[in-house]
């Protein structure tokens, strides 16, 4: 089902000096405190240099420090997370709740691996690892990202001073309702936007308008569009249960509809903030600079 009905769409177009201008707004904002665990919709969020405040600041790793995601452990989607003061509250329907305090500057530092990066992270209370190990059925630890300049963005797509936390590679992920509507119009069983785990969802009537953006302003925050987001098997799993209703979809159909020039199956655009500020649902969105995004 579409996120908004056509007659409620915030996007519109007008002609100004012979140029078609689109008007969009933010319709959803999502935060994922722990990488690959459940996220939540919020009405407002602070945007920091390395991404959304509180987004993917925690990560589950194995005993060797290798990061773990839904790719290896689909049951990670069954663990709920919410902010509680100076920490997070983990909850699982069968294992109850467990509060984890954010480790301070004296907590143990350990090297963890996320993709090709080795990052120094703070070890969380071992009790948190024990709780997660019981839920997931394997030995894991929980770590915390506390240094905003600890992980630079890939210099091929970023600039000096661009940083990211435990997100895959970029501070923010932006998607549009029009692209999801287009994909769903080709699927026998429509999927929800949550399959793609975006941070910011924009209202758009047409498919793939994000491919033609280089710089956008969301509320008070200017963002550079870095590159399209290549999609993987995570999109085939239910965002709450981790189950695969159809192990081929929506990737198979998306692969027919939307690929990068290098062949990757893509949905959404990775973005890097130029400045900090607070964005909210309902904020106006402006395309400042148009042009084909990287790898398109």
Instruction: Identify whether 191 is part of a domain.
Output: yes
Instruction: Identify whether 69 is part of a domain.
Output: yes
32-62: b (≥16 Cβ within 10 Å) or e: bbbbbbbbeebeebebbbbbbbbbbbbbbbb
Q: What percent of the chain has pLDDT over 90?
A: 88
pLDDT of residue 21: 54
Q: Which residues pair with 89 in a beta bridge?
A: 82, 99
Instruction: Identify whether 295 is part of a domain.
Output: no
CA dihedral over 218, 223, 227, 233, signed as positive or negative: negative
Instruction: Identify whether 1 is part of a domain.
Output: no
Full-model pTM: 0.92
pLDDT of residue 3: 39
Domain with 198 in it: what CATH number?
Answer: 2.40.33.20
Pairwise CA distance, residues 52 & 33, whole Å: 10
pLDDT band at 83; cut points 50, 70, 90 = confident
How many domains does the structure of the chain reveal?
1
Q: Which domain holds residue 87?
A: 6-290
Instruction: Identify whether 296 is part of a domain.
Output: no
Instruction: Identify whether 138 is part of a domain.
Output: yes
Helices (H), 122-205: 126-136, 177-184
Q: 234-277, pLDDT tens digit by residue?
A: 999 999 999 999 999 999 999 999 999 889 999 999 999 999 99
Neighbour tally for 248: CB within 10 Å: 10
Run of H or E residues at 251: helix 251-257
Pairwise CA distance, residues 296 & 292, whole Å: 6
Q: 85-125, pLDDT tens digit by residue?
A: 899 999 999 999 999 999 999 999 999 999 999 999 999 99
Instruction: Identify whether 29 is part of a domain.
Output: yes
Neighbour tally for 223: CB within 10 Å: 25
Compute the chain's Rg from CA coordinates.
19
The answer, yes or no, to whether residue 9 has pLDDT greater than 70, is no
Run of H or E residues at 52: strand 51-52
Mean pLDDT of 179-199: 98
pLDDT of residue 85: 86
Instruction: Identify whether 38 is part of a domain.
Output: yes
């Amino acid at each position: 089902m579409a996120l908004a009905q056509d007659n409620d769409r915030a996007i519109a177009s007008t002609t100004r000096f012979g140029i078609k201008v689109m008007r969009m707004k933010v319709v959803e904002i999502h935060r994922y405190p722990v990488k690959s665990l459940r996220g939540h919709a919020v009405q407002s969020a602070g945007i920091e240099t390395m991404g959304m405040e509180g987004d993917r600041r925690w990560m589950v790793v194995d005993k060797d420090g290798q990061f773990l995601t839904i790719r290896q452990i689909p049951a990670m989607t069954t663990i709920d997370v919410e902010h509680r003061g100076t920490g997070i509250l983990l909850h699982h329907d069968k294992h109850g709740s467990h509060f984890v305090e954010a480790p301070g500057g004296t907590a143990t530092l350990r090297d963890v691996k996320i993709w090709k990066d080795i990052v120094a992270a703070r070890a969380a209370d071992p009790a948190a690892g024990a709780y997660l190990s019981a839920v997931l059925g394997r030995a894991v630890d929980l770590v915390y990202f506390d240094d905003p300049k600890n992980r630079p963005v890939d210099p091929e797509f970023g600039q000096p001073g661009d940083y990211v936390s435990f997100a895959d590679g970029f501070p923010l992920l932006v998607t549009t309702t029009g692209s999801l509507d287009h994909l769903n119009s080709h699927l026998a069983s429509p999927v929800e936007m949550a399959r793609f785990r975006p941070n910011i969802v924009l209202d758009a009537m047409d498919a793939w308008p994000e491919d033609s953006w280089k710089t956008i302003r969301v509320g008070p925050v200017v963002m550079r569009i870095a590159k399209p987001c290549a999609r993987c098997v995570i999109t085939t799993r239910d965002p709450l249960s981790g189950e695969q209703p159809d192990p081929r979809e929506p990737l198979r159909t998306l692969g027919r509809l939307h690929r990068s020039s290098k062949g990757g199956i893509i949905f959404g655009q990775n973005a890097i903030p130029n400045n900090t500020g607070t964005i909210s649902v309902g904020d106006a969105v402006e395309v400042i600079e148009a042009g084909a995004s990287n790898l398109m």
